[in-house]
Amino acid sequence: MKPTDPDESRRASWRAVWPSLVIGAAILWAGIGSDIELSRVANAGGRIAEFLSRMFPPDLSIAREAVDATLETLRIAILGTIGCILASAALGFLAAESMTPRAINAPVKAMLALMRAIPLILVAMLMVGAVGLGPLPGILAIAFHATGMLGKFYADAIEGVDRAPVAALESAGATLLQRLRYAVWPQMAPDLLRDTVFRFELNLRESLILGVVGAGGVGFYIQTYVRSFQYDKAATLTIIVVLIVLLIELANTWLRRLSR
């Protein structure tokens, strides 16, 4: 398309340029407005070396405590995932365009978007305020926050179901339950499993920080040891957390390979 009118051509070049101008302005604004002294990074080398050296050797006397705390985080992630599976099954169904009228699925979709937009740490703080300290607010926070994403994924899986084989089975005399079991479920199951395992991995990582706001798990210990400069103990925690997370990821990879 060739603009013949000179005004039109000027407008077209402006339309092409303005996104770059906006992005450039945003970068300038961020750089100039903040109080950043890059010289401090240059001087940080010694300090980093110092606290790395203080991490060694890791203080294994708290290994038992570290394992227990990490397992508590794992329990929070597992129970939080169960919670978000239940909520996502219900909300995902309601959010699926092929299942409900627009008057229902559009608001439910918007609600899911809002749920995943609220940062987990904020939800956790509110939950601690509501039900007190410990793993329970952590589980509730994970379940709430993760439903925002998993509910959307479940809705996508439901919307992706091809209706033709469902109609074919009905024509062959299958009941509603049989159609769900043999035509709908086989189409969705691999997606549901993949999405759920993925969300569980995210839940596990995200739940590591819950302890910082008193919502249970290993995060509380990491925060305490780092703040009191006991880097050797923090190192032990880090090692154990990394080991357990890696183990879970291996298990997930194996689980995912089962489904395609």
Q: Which residues bind other proteins (CB under 8 A)?
A: 162, 164-165, 167-175, 177-178, 181-183, 186-187, 189-190
Identity of the residue, 127 or 183, whose beta carbon is nearer to other proteins in the bound complex: 183
Query: Which residue number, 14 or 185, has a Cβ lying nearer to other proteins?
Result: 185
Residue type, 140: L
Identify which of residues 50 and 162 has a Cβ nearer to other proteins in the complex: 162
The token pair at 247 is: 């183990």
- Closest CB to other proteins among residues 13, 175: 175
CB-based contact 148:113 (threshold 8 Å): yes
Q: How far is the CB of 91 from other proteins (least distance, A)?
A: 24
CA distances from 225 to 9, 45, 191, 228, 229 (A): 63, 22, 41, 5, 6
Q: Tokens at residue 195, please?
A: 């999405």
**Least distance to other proteins, CB of residue 170, Å:** 7
Which H/E stretch holds residue 89? helix 63-95
Q: For residues 141 and 120, what is the distance between their CA atoms, to the nearest angstrom?
A: 7
Q: Which is nearer to other proteins, 68 or 162 (CB)?
A: 162
Least Å distance, CB 205 to other proteins, is 30
Q: Which is nearer to other proteins, 170 or 201 (CB)?
A: 170
Cα(125)–Cα(132) distance, integer angstroms: 10
Least CB distance to other proteins at residue 256 (A): 15
In the complex, minimum distance from the CB of residue 153 to other proteins, in angstroms, rounded to a whole number:
17
- Nearest-approach distance from CB 187 to other proteins, in angstroms: 6
Tokens describing residue 3: 């603009």
Distance CA 202, CA 77 (A): 9
Comparing CA positions, the residue from 22, 3, 23 lying closest to residue 13 is 3
Token pair of 118 as six digits: 């609220």
User: Which tokens is 142 given?
Assistant: 């994970």
